[in-house]
Amino acid sequence: MTDRPLAGIANPDLAVTDDLKPRWNSADWRQRGFHNLHQTARYAISLRAARVLTLGKCIDRRIGDLAEVRRLTSSTMFSAMVVVRGQEVLYETYAPDFGPDRPHSIMSITKTHLNLVYGGLVEAGLVDLDRTVGSYLPEIGSGYRDATLQQVLNMDVVNDYSEDYSDAATSAYLHEVPMG
């Protein structure tokens, strides 16, 4: 028996290539990558809701007949589409290699959810969008301390972060190197 560590290779899905992207996020692998990101990347799945919203179905087939919906759902980059109003699913469809039982990375859609949550908080009088982040979180660092909640929700804050995905050196890809 040897004391040498076992040799390994970089995970090919996470290894960053010359274009500064990992294989999972490259053109030929992107859909597979997003469909399986929960198994590939070092992210965690956390389901902690004490209560869940029960959804019924009231399918409106006209939604699927819309030209824009047909165009989107027939794309090779399509994963899933669900239209919900209140507590009713009006329309849902999935790519052949995806389905309602599969997790999908939500990434930027969290901004939409956050704005919906804050809308409820404003309506309930629990937050004031004109107040600064620092007034609610006095311990927060200088990056967001003086920004209003509205500025943060609008992503109207000055920072050195870029999501220009046409730029291989965009900040959005910087997390890939330590992840892979």
| All structural domains of the chain with their residue ranges | 106-180
- Active-site hit among 46, 75, 79, 108: 108
Query: Which H/E stretch holds residue 62?
Result: helix 62-65
Q: Is pLDDT of 112 > 80?
A: yes
Name the band, by pLDDT with cuts 50, 70 and 90, for residue 148: very high
**46 classed as catalytic:** no
Lay out the sheet containing 80-85: strands in order across.
56-57, 88-94, 80-85
Average pLDDT over residues 136-150: 92
CA-nearest of 137, 104, 127 to 35 is 104
Q: What is the pTM assigned to this prediction? A: 0.57
| Spatial distance between the Cα atoms of 105 and 142, rounded to a whole number of angstroms | 29
Query: 23 by DSSP, 3-state: which?
Result: helix
**Average pLDDT of the chain?**
84
Contact by Cβ (8 Å): 83, 57: no
Are residues 18 and 85 in contact, defined by beta-carbon separation less than 8 angstroms?
Answer: no
Mean pLDDT of 59-79: 94
